[in-house]
Amino acid sequence: ARVVALVPAAGRGVRLGAPIPKALVPVCGAPLLVHAVRGLLAAGCVDQVVVAAPPDMVDVVVDALSEFGPTVRVVPGGEERSDSVRLALDEAVAVHPDTRVVLVHDAARCFTPPEVIRGVVDAVRAGAPAVIPVLPVADTVKQVDSEGRVVATPDRSRLRVVQTPQGFDVDLLRRAHDQQDAPVTDDAGLVERLGEPVATVAGHPHALKITTPFDLVVAEALFSGAEL
Ligand code: CTP
Ligand code: MG
């Protein structure tokens, strides 16, 4: 069964505040997106990668990814992350109708260890139609109202933070996106709305999402000496 990884990389990176789109920002000697694609291919279980690029920078992204050859395709992304995922998914299915497993992996989680990627793929192959990597929550989490007043304290032991890649049976992900009406940042959430089960596997602290300048400093400190 063919495994395709979709990499939404079309965001502007407003919270990072760099003059170029976040996926193209260099960290540890290469753009985030290049590290992300390397990591997916290094896992050894991904046959094809489809990247959704900022629509006005497709050429730049194609250039940045030229080292990978035809294993990596680039499409223009959309207005919202979910649009970018959908556009990449359409491309994947058009090019490879035999696709069975689809990973959706944020370019911003560019140092995700290969074992996390393999763990997700293995779980989908073993029969789970939707799989997400998660970590336990260290902080207590409060739910607040619009005035910032606490309305609930969920039991921390049952909370998880969610990482990527998220893995799906291709038909389920297509159904999930077909019934999507408002933008979402979490593909598994769409699957939940269909009433389908979502399984979890172990995530990893190194799969952190680079969102702010602080995260960039952390990533640089963690990975600049590493073999990447
Ligand atoms: N993304 C995308 N298309 C969009 C918006 C986001 O492909 N229209 C991608 C981003 O490039 C990123 C991933 O989705 O790899 C996760 O989004 P996020 O971390 O929020 O990145 P940005 O949207 O670029 O950042 P910000 O929200 O700070 O602008
Ligand atoms: Mg965003």
Tokens coding 122: 């293995």
ipTM score assigned to the predicted complex: 0.99
Per-residue pLDDT of the chain (228 residues; tens, 9 = 90+): 599 999 999 999 999 999 999 999 999 999 999 999 999 999 999 999 999 999 999 999 999 999 999 999 999 999 999 999 999 999 999 999 999 999 999 999 999 999 999 999 999 999 999 999 999 999 999 999 999 999 999 999 999 999 999 999 999 999 999 998 888 889 999 999 999 999 999 999 999 999 999 999 999 999 997 654
Candidate from 106, 110, 161, 212 with most ligand 1 atoms within 8 A of CB, to mutate: 106
Question: Is 143 inside a domain boundary?
Answer: yes
Enter the pTM of the model. 0.97
DSSP class per residue in 123-180: HHHTT-SEEEEEEE--S---EE-TTS-EEE---GGG-EEE-S-EEEEHHHHHHHHHT-
Structural domain includes residue 81: yes
> Is position 228 within any domain?
no
Q: Give me the number of domains the chain comprises.
A: 1
* Residues in contact with ligand 1 (CB, 6 Å cut-off): 8-15, 22-23, 52, 77-81, 84, 106-108, 209, 211
Atom from ligand 1 closest to the CA of residue 22: 24
Instruction: Give the side-chain half-sphere CA count within 13 A for 184.
Output: 16
Cα distances (Å, whole numbers) of residue 215 to 20, 115, 218: 17, 22, 5
Strands 130-136 and 99-104 turn out to be unpaired
Using CA atoms, how far residue 224 sits from 33, 67, 84, 144, 205, in Å, is: 16, 21, 30, 38, 16
Q: Name the residue range of residue 99's domain.
A: 2-223
pLDDT digits (tens, 9 = 90+) for 202-217: 999 999 999 999 999 9
Q: Would you say residue 29 lies in a domain?
A: yes
CA neighbours within 13 Å on the CB side: how many for 119? 18
- Domain assignment of residue 115, yes or no: yes
pLDDT confidence of residue 227: 55
Q: Please report, rounded to a whole number, the percentage of residues in the chain having pLDDT higher than 90.
A: 95
Query: Which ligand 1 atom sits nearest the alpha carbon of residue 11?
Result: 24
Give the residue from 141, 140, 143 showing the smallest Cα distance to 151: 143
Q: Atom 8 in ligand 1: which residue has the minimum CA distance?
A: 80
24 located within any domain: yes
Please tell me the predicted confidence (pLDDT) of residue 14. Answer: 98
CATH number at residue 137: 3.90.550.10
Q: Quick one: which atom of ligand 1 is closest to the CA of 109?
A: 15
Q: What is the model's pLDDT at position 226?
A: 64
**pLDDT attached to residue 225:** 78
In a domain, 40, yes or no: yes
pLDDT at 183: 81
Structure confidence at residue 157 (pLDDT):
97
**pLDDT per position as a tens digit, 72-103:** 999 999 999 999 999 999 999 999 999 999 99
